[in-house]
Homo-oligomer: A and B are copies of this chain.
């Protein structure tokens, strides 16, 4: 496209994340922890293509999402001026619906899948908005029915993962949309105003109770304060007694209690899960349990793991009724919080040992040492050229490799080898020990343990 020989400024598009290797290693460990957490509960992996047929992806007409969709077309189609046949996924839920409907007869229900892939949205470039970001989702999809026990599993999965990720104390907030509907109806909010009221109530946490009450008043006139107070003061003991004939409240409360109790039985500590009757979580999609998760010390980050129960996953693609429940971890949001911490990922390396090349004549020996260590399961790099030792140490230090192996002609003659612990700062007194060559693997394992 440009005259050859003229260099192009190397840069990424706006709104994408690209990490340097140490941060990529730390991010990869985060994804591995999440995946392990999903598999610990027996969720099954699914990957879908980055693009779907536009006609299949965009079944809903209009809407906010469609404005943000990226379309893809090859050079040929572009030249012919055709409408784009392909579009990039903007979430993992629509591809899941398409996947389950398409492969329905070959899946085992309840179908428990996890999916960790990137999604694409044509967002305006601004801080915290990404055009490409990761989603890590689990969903359990039933055929016709799905037990409330699956709703209780979600907080247990969240707890397991965030406890291991160790980003500080967190709280999983749960609520139930049936209960919300019951309370709103009990206070005389007409059904067509529910979404607007919930939209205002969702601002609790960002705004004070009084501010929210004032906003709710702009939607409905009567009972505003009592309604908001009822939700903010919710307890299992008082609410159903207060509205004895409200079937939605009774059912919502029963489900919420089952989710809460079973989550405790699944090992979620009472310190990490709380019913919050003000959480609404989206407006149309969810029909029962809803979840949000906050880092206690960083609530401004917003919910880092959210989800809920829905009545029917794939109505656009199949006549089967497929109720489901699921959660999504916002890893890119977490990442935006982590990368501001200079310590995060700074000391990450994949290699655990580097074999330095002290004497060009001993290269085969170095290669054999590397092979021996790898055979013992130790990630090992052998320095490839015969640069001065100072340059090799500088490389090893920047790479944050924990241990260096040094064997010069003298050591080789006497059948010994030296190990230098690079985790000690370079200018401090350095740990270095000499030992018989035969004991190398065992000693390295000991030092790394």
C-beta contact mask, A10-29 vs B, less than 8 Å → 1, else 0?
11110011111100110010
CB contacts (< 8 Å) of A109 on chain B: these are 395
Asked if A86 is at the interface (CB within 8 A of a chain B CB), the reply is yes
Q: Which residue of B lies closest to A61 (CB)?
A: B1
Q: Which residue of B lies closest to A122 (CB)?
A: B74
Please tell me the number of chain A residues within 8 Å of chain B, measured between CB atoms: 120
Task: Tell whether, in the assembled complex, residue B53 and residue A11 are in contact, meaning their CB atoms are under 8 Å apart.
Answer: yes
CB contacts (< 8 Å) of A17 on chain B: these are 49
A361 CB to nearest chain B CB (Å): 13
CB contacts (< 8 Å) of A44 on chain B: these are 21, 24-25, 349-350
Task: Tell whether, in the assembled complex, residue B41 and residue A7 are in contact, meaning their CB atoms are under 8 Å apart.
Answer: no
Selected interface stretch from A262-270, A286-294, A412-420, A439-447: A262-270
A151 CB to nearest chain B CB (Å): 9
Task: Tell whether, in the assembled complex, residue A71 and residue B61 are in contact, meaning their CB atoms are under 8 Å apart.
Answer: no
Q: Which of A314-363 contact B (CB under 8 A)?
A: 314-319, 349-351, 354, 363
CB contacts (< 8 Å) of A118 on chain B: these are 50
Q: Which residue of B lies closest to A39 (CB)?
A: B350
Q: How many chain copies does the complex carry?
A: 2
Asked if A160 is at the interface (CB within 8 A of a chain B CB), the reply is yes
A47 and B19 contact, Cβ closer than 8 Å, known pairs A13-B85, A364-B265, A380-B41: yes
Asked if A84 is at the interface (CB within 8 A of a chain B CB), the reply is yes
Task: Tell whether, in the assembled complex, residue A384 and residue B88 are in contact, meaning their CB atoms are under 8 Å apart.
Answer: no
A102 CB to nearest chain B CB (Å): 4
Asked if A410 is at the interface (CB within 8 A of a chain B CB), the reply is no
Task: Tell whether, in the assembled complex, residue B374 and residue A40 are in contact, meaning their CB atoms are under 8 Å apart.
Answer: yes
Q: Which residue of B lies closest to A25 (CB)?
A: B45
Selected interface stretch from A62-70, A186-194, A201-209: A62-70
Asked if A73 is at the interface (CB within 8 A of a chain B CB), the reply is yes
A2 and B379 contact, Cβ closer than 8 Å, known pairs A21-B46, A75-B68, A103-B20: no
Could you list some 12 contacts between A and B, CB below 8 A? A3-B61, A8-B55, A10-B102, A13-B53, A18-B48, A40-B379, A42-B380, A71-B73, A71-B75, A110-B384, A147-B386, A266-B368
